[in-house]
Amino acid sequence: MMQDAADARSSSVAYVRTAPSAPMEPPMAERGIVRWVRENLFSSVLSSVLTVLVIALLIWVVPPLLKFLVFDAVWSGTDREACLVTPDRPEVGACWAFIRAWFPFFVYGPYPVDERWRVDVFFALLAFGIAWLLWLDAPRRDLGAAFFFIALPIISFVLLSGFPMIGLETVDTALWGGVLVTLVVASVGIVVSLPIGILLALGRRAEMPAVRLFSVIFIEFVRGVPLITMLFMASVMLPLFVPPAFSPDKLLRALVGITLFSSAYMAEVVRAGLQSIPKGQYEAAQALGLGYWRMLGLIILPQALKVTIPNIVNNTIALFKDTTLVFIVGIFDFLRTIEIARVDPRWATPVTSFTGYAFAALCYFVACYSMSRYARGIEHRLGAAERR
């Protein structure tokens, strides 16, 4: 039938198209990159103006910055001469030679050169512990936690401060510095403040009024004052409160201050996690005949801490940034070593300070940004279970 009709038409009409034509492409303005640009950059007058302004800003900032940090930068040299303006080199960028010359100091501070392998071992152990703990699919994560929270602190202490009986010379903490101190302060802060924070959070939710009161007072007091005042308290008041024989050294005082500070914030984060556990979980655990600590250890905390991981990591980022404050009470952390190096007369040039700060900013940024990406990844992964 169809064929007949088509034949009939083709015989009476001069030309008839028998096959449908291919669909026409949408107009240029409605497809591909042009459409994207129209929708995302020039959707309205205001948007167009903003686009032009942002492009102008980028042109104003990015090329000179790249020129300074990379193309005009000085990569090698032995002293300030390398980074000074000379007639045949009118523009001098960042003085990376200065960073290279001072790099060991940034990492180890004034730690004795012959003993620096101990710091390297500490770095390796710390990296191993962190990887074990943060990789959620790693085997035997309970062992990992035990390693990080119990074995690592003891090994690190023996390794870093020395133990003459096994042939490790004593290194006074006044000689610790640089990245070493930053990492020590951050990891001691986290290792000690997490358990204290959990206890405080439990105390704040306890049914015993005295326990609750002490926890609330401690948490709210610490959260109400700046970290600097806690550090001042630890460094000038703490020595007064203990017998002179036990007077702690400078680093230990700063550690006490920063740990107390961090545990109050950790407590609030853990409390939020505890609150997210439904009451039925407690009741079910009690119905099974579990006591308080076994109920917490086997039922409540595993669930509460899991949902708290992103917030714990965020707290760790804040703590990591806050470690810079120990600088103010006279500890040689990473930032302090930069401050010392940048005023060194052998490297005094107009670009030295800028280079030092750029390097420090880069290091902190890489560390904090990767931690925050990790927290976001975990959040996404935990959310996946909810989204099912």
The residue assigned the tokens 């990891």 is 187
Residue 275, interface with another protein (CB under 8 A)? Answer: no
Smallest gap from residue 295 Cβ to another protein (A):
13
Contact between 199 and another protein (CB under 8 A)? Answer: no
| Cβ nearer to another protein, comparing 68 with 148 | 68
Binding mask 10-49 for another protein (x = CB under 8 A): -----------------------------xxx-xx--x--
Task: Quickly count: other Cβ atoms within 10 Å of residue 151's Cβ.
Answer: 13
**Site string (287-326) toward another protein, x via CB under 8 A:** ------------------------------x---xx-xx-
CB contact at 8 A, 143 and 152 = no
Contacts of 336 (CB under 8 A, 6+ apart): 177, 327
For another protein, the closer of residues 28 and 245 by Cβ is 245
| φ/ψ of residue 25, rounded to 5 | -65, 145
CA distance 94 to 195: 44
Q: How many residues belong to the site for another protein (CB under 8 A)?
A: 56
Query: Which 338-357 residues touch another protein, going by CB under 8 A?
Result: 339, 342, 350, 353-354, 357
Least Å distance between CB 331 and another protein?
13
Q: Which of 226, 297, 302, 330 binds another protein (CB under 8 A)?
A: 226
**Chain-centre distance of CA 359, in angstroms?**
16
Choosing from 6, 59, 138, 237, the residue that interacts with another protein (CB under 8 A) is 237
Structure tokens at 331: 């500890």
Give the shortest CB-171-to-another protein separation in angstroms: 27
Q: With contact defined as beta carbons under 8 Å apart, do 72 and 92 qualify? A: yes
Q: What is the 3-state secondary structure (H, E, C) of 204-234?
A: HCCCCHHHHHHHHHHHHHHHHCCHHHHHHHH
Q: How far apart are CA 262 and CA 188, in angstroms?
A: 11
Handedness of CA 193, 194, 197, 203 (dihedral sign): negative
Closest among 318, 331, 320, 324 to 223, alpha carbons compared: 318
Among 130, 328, 348, 382, indicate the residue that binds another protein (CB under 8 A). Answer: 328
In the complex, the smallest distance separating the C-beta of residue 314 from another protein, rounded to whole angstroms, is 10
- Distance spanning both ends of the chain, measured CA to CA: 54
Residues lying near another protein in the complex (CB under 8 A) are found at 39-41, 43-44, 47, 50-51, 54-55, 57, 207-211, 214, 221, 223-229, 232-233, 236-237, 239-244, 317, 321-322, 324-325, 327-328, 335, 339, 342, 350, 353-354, 357, 360-361, 364-365, 368-369, 372
